Amino acid sequence: MAEQKTATLTIDGISYELPILSPTAGPNVIDIRKLYSQAGVFTYDPGFTSTAACDSTITFIDGDKGELLHRGYPIDQLAEKSHYLEVCFALLYGNLPSAEELEKFERLVTNHTMIHEQMHNFFRGFRRDAHPMATMVGVVGAMSAFYHDSTDPNDPHQREVASIRLVAKMPTIAAMAYKYSIGQPFVYPRNDLDYASNFLHMCFSVPAEEYHVNPILARAMDRIFTLHADHEQNASTSTVRLASSSGANPFACIAAGIACLWGPAHGGANQACLEMLKEIGTVDRIPEFIARAKDKNDNYRLMGFGHRVYKNFDPRATVMKKSADEVLELMGVEDNPLLQVAMELEKQALADPYFAEKKLFPNVDFYSGIILEAMGFPTSMFTPIFALARTVGWVSQWKEQLDDPQLKIGRPRQLYMGEAAIDYVDIEDR
Ligand code: SDX
């Protein structure tokens, strides 16, 4: 066993030895768990730019190389050679499945895609123009009120049942949220369709006529699911972990993750990015928007650009761009004006010193909206699709945390800058 390295911290002449933990990959980690009890001080890291909140074996990102690994497998290989439910198995259980394991897992997921019939009533409580993310937060949270046999996070069997239910039912819930928002009848899942085809069928088929899923669109949809499956300790995953640390039930934790993902700085960026491309409209207006994004006095940002971890190309964006070309060609819109604007925006931004110095590159959200719109989805469905795909990541991380014997409730401290203790003043004396 290699001798453990330590970091020495000296405060008021007293030195503290802090263990340095060595990862399989990525930066070393200074273990500060005993710092407060030993030195009486906190560390300060709003936004967690330098903080590892947990250890994990699920996903690794090398931001400088632009590398993303799920259980060690590079995302570009998974996107090309695997498919979403196989990636789900690897994320949930730690390894790629055998053919028999995969067949059993796919059958299990397929047979749990329907939701309790009484849950249909939840949708009817929303306004038709409710954002589908609002509906998903509500309905997924309400799963706690239905699936009582899989709400106990301390029961391994119930954890497994909840995991399968969430992965299986999220496409059904997302499709129902879409159908409800456009006033069309809900379409039940079909067990003869694969996961991505089933989702497209539930979204786009109508009782009035046969709907045949285009296999190229289904492949593109499946690939989009794979590209969004998990991503280390991003904001929504950290939300799920923090919620679960109190012992909250899985459906409440995943609903919290959906709520966090909705923000335009996170999963809501795919909707915001397409709306930005539409606002730019034509290539000649790009310099105006780049100037705004660079203007210190304007908090405007280019949606789909930049990332806390990637300081190189987001490998998912590279795969997504390739998929966009395929889908647009299939849909006969290869000269899609939005794609032209996106490609020219990327070219001009990457040539600009501001973006180069700050290492701002297109992220997963930059091209995804172009594909989803070409497939027929409204912008309001972009983030629900992200949430659908990320559910397996949230669930995998949730399970991993619950298996950790050192699990403690997450309870950050603070740098208090408010009033020191003062006496109450009666209202007549104020
Ligand atoms: C996702 O964490 C994950 O892994 C998330 C995700 C996942 O799979 O879970 O990858 C999914 O959320 C992708 C990101 C989607 N969001 C966007 O595209 C929104 C636009 N991007 C930004 O708001 C921003 O880049 C973030 C939120 C993504 C990252 O923000 P950080 O890491 O907190 O960086 P920062 O805000 O400190 O920015 C550093 C500098 C700042 O300039 P200075 O104050 O140093 O002068 O870069 C600038 C920022 O102003 N900057 C941008 C910019 N993003 C950062 N300037 C213009 N346009 C941008 N998009």
Report pLDDT digits (tens) over 118-171.
Answer: 999 999 999 999 999 999 999 999 999 999 999 999 999 999 999 999 999 999
pLDDT above 70 for 2: no
331: CATH:
1.10.230.10
Report pLDDT digits (tens) over 204-247.
Answer: 999 999 999 999 999 999 999 999 999 999 999 999 999 999 99
Query: Is 231's C-beta closer than 6 angstroms to any atom of ligand 1?
Result: yes
pLDDT above 70 for 3: no
Query: Is 365's C-beta closer than 6 angstroms to any atom of ligand 1?
Result: yes
Kindly state whether residues 253 and 342 are assigned to the same domain: no
Q: Which of 196, 175, 197, 195 is nearest to 187 (CA)?
A: 175
The domain boundary residue, chosen from 375, 395, 410: 375
84: CATH:
1.10.580.10
Work out the average pLDDT over 354-367.
93
Least confident of 180-194, 283-297, 331-345, 353-367: 331-345
Report pLDDT digits (tens) over 290-322.
Answer: 999 999 999 999 999 999 999 999 999 999 999
d(CA 413, CA 409): 13
- Residue 166 contacts residue 139 (beta carbons within 8 Å): no
Kindly state whether residues 167 and 234 are assigned to the same domain: yes
Query: Is 224's C-beta closer than 6 angstroms to any atom of ligand 1?
Result: no
| pLDDT above 70 as % of the chain | 99
CA of 191 to the centre of ligand 1 (A): 40
Kindly state whether residues 114 and 172 are assigned to the same domain: yes
What is the predicted pLDDT for the residue at 331? 84
409 within some domain: no
CA of 80 to the centre of ligand 1 (A): 27
d(CA 118, CA 97): 35
d(CA 240, CA 391): 10
Least confident of 104-113, 325-334, 351-360: 325-334
Query: Is 306's C-beta closer than 6 angstroms to any atom of ligand 1?
Result: yes
d(CA 133, CA 270): 13
Q: Total domain count for the chain?
A: 3
Kindly state whether residues 251 and 285 are assigned to the same domain: no
Work out the average pLDDT over 12-27.
96
Kindly state whether residues 260 and 272 are assigned to the same domain: no
CA of 145 to the centre of ligand 1 (A): 37
Question: Mean of the per-residue pLDDT values for the chain?
Answer: 96
Where in the sequence is the domain holding 20, given as residue range(s)? 6-52
The domain boundary residue, chosen from 214, 232, 265: 265
Q: Which two tokens stand for residue 106?
A: 């796919």
Kindly state whether residues 82 and 222 are assigned to the same domain: yes
What is the predicted pLDDT for the residue at 1? 45
